[in-house]
Structure 1
Amino acid sequence: MAAVNVYHTSVTTENLSRNDILQWINTALDANFNKIEGLCTGAAYCQFMEMMFPGSIGARSKRVKWNTKLEHEYINNFKVLQEYFKALSVDKIVPVEKLVKGKFQDNFEFVQWFKKFFDANYTDAQDYDPVAARDGQPLGGDAKATGPGAGGSSGIRAPPAPRVPVTRPAAAPQPSKPVTTTKPVQQQPPKTTSVIHRPTIPANHSSTINNHHQGMNNNENLRLQQEIDNLQEIIQQHAAQIAGLEKEREFYYQKLREVEMVCQEPEHEPLPHAQKILEILYTTEVRMNICNE
């Protein structure tokens, strides 16, 4: 059996909104996903694959962790999804390392492709009970906040604080104004004001200063713009290098996945040194550093 491959590399007007995607998943799988980021567990994709192609990978579909919050179990679920893809000759590369981080953009792009893949392959030929297929386990949903400050309100309200009456102090008696006797005012001699003559600055002098400052600002702006252009060029070069490294990483990762799946295939005779190969594949970076020391 082979699936219909769908090639989707860019955003188009045919894409659904995040609310449409969540409604489709929750309705089809009787799930409770509140965010696109919740698809990082990989469990929903595995159940969709079993819905479209029942029994295509046999008992290995039972390894799916439905209600998990652990990243290594997310990776396990995506390994099951990759086994589906291999058994059905699906060409799509699953960016596991990006998806399990729970970032919106990565998961939204992948689920947009998967929706098109589902529409191209699902025939609705038989009834499918998603809850029974999960043995009644929940799928999706976020934990609700509890404790003080959590959403929702109970029927009991605290009584309002009693109001303390405020009394105003009695007005203090105004002191009587003392009676003063007036004295004749002596006339002061008129003050003479001196006029200070300030030197005037020629108008052409101020304009010369302004032109000088403007020229300095223009030179500084040109220097900064040139520096920005150089930095942007360096950023573009680094971005191209990173994109090439990511493609190379995905290439070798898929090669290692194929080696792993060959070593785990039960229908074939055990390969020589298969267990040793799996141990090398599963060795973590921390363990390798310890061995080198």
Structure 2
Amino acid sequence: MNKVKFDTKHDYEYVTNYKILQSAFDKHKIDKIIPVERLMKCKFQDNLEFLQWLKKYWDQYYPGGAYDAGSRRKGGHGASSSTGPARASGGTRTMASKKPAAGGTGVRSAASRNTAGASGRLSSSSGNSAVLDQNSAAVIIDLNKQLGELKATVDGLEKERDFYFGKLRDIEILVQQQQEADASANVEESPVLKEIQNILYSTEEGFEVPPEGEVEGEGDIEDETF
């Protein structure tokens, strides 16, 4: 502390004090590089971050108890004297000692605001995630409902298809049996039976006749899961 100059006025004096502080950090194995150039430019963000780090380190490692800052500063240059012009210096010292306290309060307030802001953002993010989860769950429920309705529709269409296919198959067999009977009896083929057969075997453009004994799509439907 006796190397620190408390009545600094010039940049080189600030640099000297920062070097003393950095040496103290190195001596006590405190892994922190002081950004001297940035601090001397008096940018708010850089000084705020450094003060926040100092406050955090103090809170973490200070063992507690009273700290007599005045007696610790007596050995430093520009921190003593109590008569004559030194009174102004003493007044300056008092103001200087008060300013860090106010600055510390400002740092604590800024840190509190930052913490509150971060907490608010986290709460907002959590709230948004909860809303998204609820919306996703609602969409999944709606899709499952639609899937169930589509499956019921497909099942109904399959039953209806099988029903009419069975009817057509019975008509086809009946026509074939009658044609065979007429051929055996050497009877002229009935034009009505011929027309019915033409209707049964007629197709539309693009339609492919499935292999015999297989209903169109029947094999795929049995194995398909909806």
TM bracket, shorter-chain basis:
0.3 to 0.5
| Structure-2-length-normalised TM-score | 0.33
Q: Say which structure, 1 or 2, has more relative contact order (CA 8 Å, 6+ apart).
A: 1
